[in-house]
């Protein structure tokens, strides 16, 4: 694995690319998420954790990152349409779902940024 840089988490060096995405999603844990969130200036609220955990669970089951619309569908099922909006997601992740939520969830850089459409 050829890391551009590393993320220091509890004395461990986790390889990341130049944008800070993990090169190996299996190295993710909650402490890694906390460090990335801090770098992204994202407070790890219950709502943020719900999105991060959804991304992780979807990835583990499907081996791909869920598109933004899949996240919105899931939020609609869980909470109704008031929380199933792009505005709700962008309030948590102002630089975008793909750029921040997926990064905090330990995903590799999304190959298509259609995740945010």
pTM comes to: 0.88
| pLDDT tens for the chain, residues 1 to 117 | 555 699 999 999 999 999 999 999 999 999 999 999 999 999 999 999 999 999 999 999 998 899 889 999 999 999 999 889 999 999 999 998 888 999 999 998 876 654 444
Residues of the domain holding 85: 5-116
The widest CA-to-CA distance across the chain, in whole angstroms, is 43
Residues 6+ apart with CB under 8 A from 65: 55, 58, 59, 98, 102, 107, 110, 115
- Output the domain CATH number for residue 60: 1.10.10.370
The H or E element containing residue 91 is helix 86-92
């Amino acid at each position: 694995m050829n890391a551009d840089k590393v993320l220091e988490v509890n004395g461990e060096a986790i390889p990341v690319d130049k944008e800070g995405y993990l090169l190996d999603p299996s190295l993710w844990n909650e402490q890694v998420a906390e460090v990335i969130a801090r770098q992204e200036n994202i407070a790890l609220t219950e709502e943020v954790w719900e999105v991060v955990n959804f991304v992780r669970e979807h990835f583990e089951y499907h081996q791909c990152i869920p598109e933004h619309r899949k996240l919105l569908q899931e939020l609609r099922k869980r909470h109704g349409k008031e929380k199933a909006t792009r505005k709700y997601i962008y309030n948590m992740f102002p630089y975008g779902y793909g750029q921040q939520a997926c990064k905090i969830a330990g995903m590799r850089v999304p190959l298509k940024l259609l995740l945010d459409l």
